[in-house]
Amino acid sequence: MKVAVVGATGLVGTEMLKVLAERNFPVTELLPVASARSVGQEIEFRGQKYKVVSLDDAIAARPAVAIFSAGGAISLQEAPRFAAVGTVVIDNSSAWRMDPTKKLVVPEINAHTLTADDKIIANPNCSTIQLVVALNELHKKYKAERIVVSTYQSVTGTGKQAVDQLMQERAGQTASNPAYPHRIDLNVLPHIDVFQDNGYTKEEMKMVLETKKIFGDDSIRLTATTVRVPVMGGHSEAVNVEFAQEFDLEDVRELLRQTEGVELVDDVQNNVYPMPQDAHGRDAVLVGRLRRDETQPKTLNMWVVADNLRKGAATNAVQIAEVMLKMGLLKD
């Protein structure tokens, strides 16, 4: 199958290539796409060298699927051009997520909604993906009514510029091209993406709106505070969820053990709980620190960790392609 990866030289694009190889996706011809200055450079995929091509060349090649991680502006402009030649686009930016004509897909939850007419499919925000995967079976059984989430998000979510800033600051240097308005090493920034008129950041509102769309439930009340921390390799979330139905903690644990994509990591007597360093390089969403909220009934506290470049971006996108292939919705 002919596959294009748009943004192939970025952090997420590089991870997408790695995941495609690891999961043995049937790539017969790879079309790595990057900025004009990168055209002609070589990248390696499954032991072969491939030259970076332009968007126009990739579209002319009519790939079966194009996985995008090149930013919203590129996605808005170029995804329809790929779709017009019959290519299925899976887009990792925020460009199409809240478009009512586009599906927002986490395969474990709503892949069944995909059809042959879906030519542009949105990959959700990284922090939203791990939240909904962790809550999916619990929401089905107990119905989540209200969710309060605070995130602790890795600098890798911002990109290479942010990683460079952290490493330079950690080495005692002044960042040459900082990604953030403040120091990130030995600091935390309660500021991810731009502030909105309501005082929340765009990242916080993404979590609110995307969760409702993925679950197909506008009645869920969710409020978020998203925070950038000097960590590489994973996002963490403190989640407080109020259910409509009462629950038993052991039943919750068993449901999480059975939840696709989730690994229960919850043995506090032995200091075992999810940490970003344990999620790094893995696809599982790690869940632990399960306990009742003692201030009100039917409310659970949990701690959720996942690698934001993998399940939060690359792996989820490749999983969408895998499901579409299995459903017969990808044609070479």
By annotation, the residues acting in catalysis are 126, 235
176 is in an annotated binding site: no
CA dist list (Å): 246 to 66, 145, 234: 44, 12, 31
221 is in an annotated binding site: no
CA dist list (Å): 133 to 226, 248, 283: 18, 20, 12
Q: How far apart are CA 179 and CA 155, in angstroms?
A: 9
37 is in an annotated binding site: yes
Q: How far apart are CA 329 and CA 332, in angstroms?
A: 10
Q: Which two tokens stand for residue 201?
A: 């950041």
**Helix, strand, coil shares of the chain as percentages rounded to 5?**
35, 25, 40
291 is in an annotated binding site: no
9 is in an annotated binding site: yes
**Sequence-ordered list of residues with C-beta below 8 angstroms from that of 112, at least 6 positions apart, any chain:** none
Q: How far apart are CA 168 and CA 227, in angstroms?
A: 21
178 is in an annotated binding site: yes
Q: Residue 322: what residue type?
A: E
End-to-end CA distance of the chain: 5
**Sequence-ordered list of residues with C-beta below 8 angstroms from that of 91, at least 6 positions apart, any chain:** 68, 75, 79, 120, 121, 122, 123
12 is in an annotated binding site: yes
228 is in an annotated binding site: yes
Annotated binding site for substrate: 153, 228
| Residue set of the binding site for phosphate | 97
Known binding site: residues? 9-12, 37-38, 97, 153, 178, 228, 308
Residues annotated in the binding site for NADP(+), as ranges? Answer: 9-12, 37-38, 178, 308
